[in-house]
Amino acid sequence: MPAAWTFGTAALILKQGDLTRADTAAIVNAANSGLLGGGGVDGAIHRAAGPRLLEACRTIVARIGSLPAGQAILTPGFDLTARHVIHTVGPIWRGGNAGEPELLRSAYAQSLHLARENGLGSVAFPAISCGAYGYPLPLAAPLALETLRRECAHGLPSRVELWLRGDAAFTFWLGEARRLFGDSAPDGQP
């Protein structure tokens, strides 16, 4: 069951499931800097969106080069339910002394800034950098949740979802959210 908190006029909602099925204006791709797809959520998004997503990403990389960690760009969603994909590159965990917290915070914030610039009312995120990039969950979760809470104060998007894969991940993030924000609405709706 989802859990939700309201900050200003925006809702932050934790959900468990497949991010590629999110019914939002945009989903966020935890991309690699080459934007060429790969494993985990990046590969799943590329498979679900179809081959035109890879073509769009190649066009962007040809124009700007690789996307640095902490930055974000926008493409159409193609075959996804979401109309857009916001690609952001999270930091690879190197022990915490290579700017990882600032880069992770920036990946979330820049994604929401791009959503605001494009008038997107709802965005669904994965747990950026928490898979193959090795960012420890006890450090990533509070940083990500606080960044999302702070960005919700801007009002748009009015719905920010964080999609988590599996019971263990959802339970962990829900515990962190409750520790930071208190209990969620009883029915999981803001």
Active-site residues, by number, are 42
- Length of the chain equals 190
Using only C-alpha atoms, the chain has a radius of gyration, in whole angstroms, of 15
Phi-psi domain of 184 (left: phi exceeds 0; alpha: psi -120 through 50; beta: other):
beta
Closest alpha carbon to 30 in 119, 162, 121? 162
Residue with tokens 């081959």: 51
Task: Please answer whether residues 10 and 158 qualify as being in contact, where contact means their C-beta atoms are separated by less than 8 angstroms.
Answer: yes
Cβ atoms of residues 11 and 158 within 8 Å: yes
Integer Cα distance of 81 and 59 in angstroms: 22
Within 13 Å, how many C-alpha atoms sit on residue 43's CB side? Answer: 5
Q: CA-CA-CA-CA torsion for 114, 116, 121, 123, nearest 10 degrees? A: 30
- Residue whose C-alpha is closest to residue 35's, from 56, 21, 51, 63: 56
